[in-house]
A = this chain, B = another copy of it.
């Protein structure tokens, strides 16, 4: 299947690539691995959708030069690639659609870029249990089409749906836009096949919905961003294609009032698939609304959808009921992922940060984060929406834009520093679904405390030679 390209592309013409490591390439070829050593392939695999790189790419600067792009067709090919990597001390970065936005999917200088998108088979569907076994490199639309024709949905619809793979979702602990109902990918996965740095192939989980057989080894690999193992297959739970859908839209006088309504909805155990609350800046910009817009969409069995919308209506009693067509507006634009590139190319620095926190921390956090971003002299605008909600908290999704003179990096870094400091001070988590990658690695100790020590211990135990995606999660190499 043809895939959309990156939101920007290197300019036409030659890219001045470092020399090819012929011995490495020969070793991979001898191991039966399909490889690509063209300058353009290497450059393409040396970046992902980390916004900081967008202007670099537009201006022909290649952020990282992996030594070679390797294209495994099977788990055995991954094993063979890792054997070559171990023997030669070369790093390996597993990649799917490279739509990651924090630098974690960009293969670093001199590494093997392990392009998993050739492993894209839907292996098996269990129609009774409602599960699918799939290779890691399958893209969202192909997986969804394969299960839809049997009456199922995975229910995982990230903004990057068209451009991202199952392996990428899992490696980054991704969330779809309907995750209130279907769960984040860690709720959807049931089992994994993983190749460890040692070359051992291990099957984790996969024997039913729940186990009490030691620690959660699936959860050890989900979110490991390619630094603890290479995910080659996964078993995911399916849901029936929904029979019913309902929509609603409300306007709140303040973000705090809207947040509190969302909290009450969730704490009455309603789980509308979509429950998104926009601040005034975003309500105006994206929906031409003057109040804080709440978008509601639920789908599923009719009785539950009706009960859910009933709870929402009851808890939004103090808000204005707006036109349901606003939900259609959101649906029409929800996967517009290419909007940032022209801004960066035009000199505007723009990015988003998505962070989860308990309900009690959200409104104070919103205020301090937005204020910290606005306090930076180069900031044009800072805004926020609530994107994913749970019984005990939610995800706030901040957007900032600035127009610094010259090199964008200092402003970009300062904005992340300022916002993240306030997130952590308020008790929020460093990321809700984009992951850590390279961009956030410097905050890991502040965010995890002693947990960062545990993470480093795991890294040393599972990948003592730091072969796997060094730099991401602050593990095994420099982040940036």
| Interface pair A430/B461, CB less than 8 Å apart | no
Q: Mark A380-391, 1 if CB is under 8 A from B, else 0.
A: 000000001011
Copies of this protein, total? 2
A447 CB–B CB distance under 8 Å: yes
**Cβ-neighbour of A223 out of B186, B200, B216, B430 (below 8 A):** B216
Within 8 A of B (CB), among A427-480: 427-436, 444, 447-451, 453-455, 457-458, 460-462, 473
Please, which residue of chain B has its CB at the minimum distance from the CB of A126?
Answer: B360
Beta-carbon nearest neighbor of A309 in chain B: B303
Chain B residue nearest to A130 in the complex (CB): B392
A228 located at the interface, meaning its Cβ lies under 8 Å from any Cβ of chain B in the complex:
yes
Q: Are B223 and A359 neighbours in the complex by a CB distance under 8 Å?
A: no
- Say yes or no for A203: interface residue by CB 8 A criterion: yes
User: CB within 8 A of A213: which of B223, B311, B392?
Assistant: B223
Q: Interface size for chain A: under 10, 10 to 19, 20 to 34, or 35 or more residues?
A: 35 or more
* Interface pick from A90-98, A264-272, A327-335: A264-272
Contact of A454 among B173, B190, B217, B427 (CB under 8 A): B217
CA distance A239 to B269 in the complex (A): 9
> Quick check: A451 and B217 within 8 Å, CB to CB?
yes
A357-376 contact mask (Cβ, 8 Å, vs B): 1 or 0 = 11111000000000000000
Given contacts A201-B450, A207-B427, A462-B457, contact A240 B267 (CB under 8 A): yes
Interface centre among A207, A223, A427 (most CB of B within 10 A): A207
- Kindly list chain B residues whose C-beta atoms are within 8 Å of the C-beta of A220: 215-216, 219-220, 454, 458
Is A47 on the interface with B (CB-CB < 8 A)?
A: no
Q: Is A2 in the interface zone, CB < 8 Å from B? A: no
Interface contact B212-A269, CB-CB below 8 Å = no
Question: Is there contact, CB below 8 Å, between B358 and A208?
Answer: yes
Nearest CB on B from A356, distance (A): 4
- What chain B residues lie within 8 Å of A301 (beta carbons)? 268-270, 307, 311
Indicate if A63 sits at the interface (CB-CB under 8 A). no
* A186 and B212 alpha carbons, distance in the complex (Å): 10
Query: Is the beta-carbon distance between A213 and B444 smaller than 8 angstroms?
Result: yes
> Which chain B residues lie closer than 8 Å to A173 at the CB level?
210-212
For the complex, give the distance between the alpha carbons of A204 and B186 in Å: 17
- Residues on B with C-beta less than 8 A from A361 are 129, 208
1/0 contact string of A183-217 vs chain B (CB within 8 Å)? 01010001000001000111111011111111111
Tell me, yes or no, whether A279 is within 8 Å of chain B by CB: no
List B contacts of A428 (CB < 8 A).
Answer: 207-208
* Chain B residues, Cβ within 8 Å of A44: none
Whether A174 sits at the interface, judged by CB under 8 Å, is yes
Interface residues in chain A, defined as those with a beta carbon under 8 Å from any beta carbon in chain B: 126, 128-131, 172-175, 184, 186, 190, 196, 200-205, 207-217, 219-225, 228, 237-240, 263, 267-270, 300-301, 303-304, 306-307, 310-311, 355-361, 388, 390-395, 427-436, 444, 447-451, 453-455, 457-458, 460-462, 473
9 contacts between A and B (CB under 8 A): A128-B358, A203-B450, A207-B358, A208-B393, A209-B393, A215-B223, A238-B392, A269-B300, A307-B307
8 more A-B residue pairs beyond the given contacts A202-B451, A207-B357, A214-B225, with a C-beta to C-beta distance below 8 A? A172-B212, A200-B450, A204-B450, A208-B357, A213-B430, A219-B220, A220-B220, A240-B267
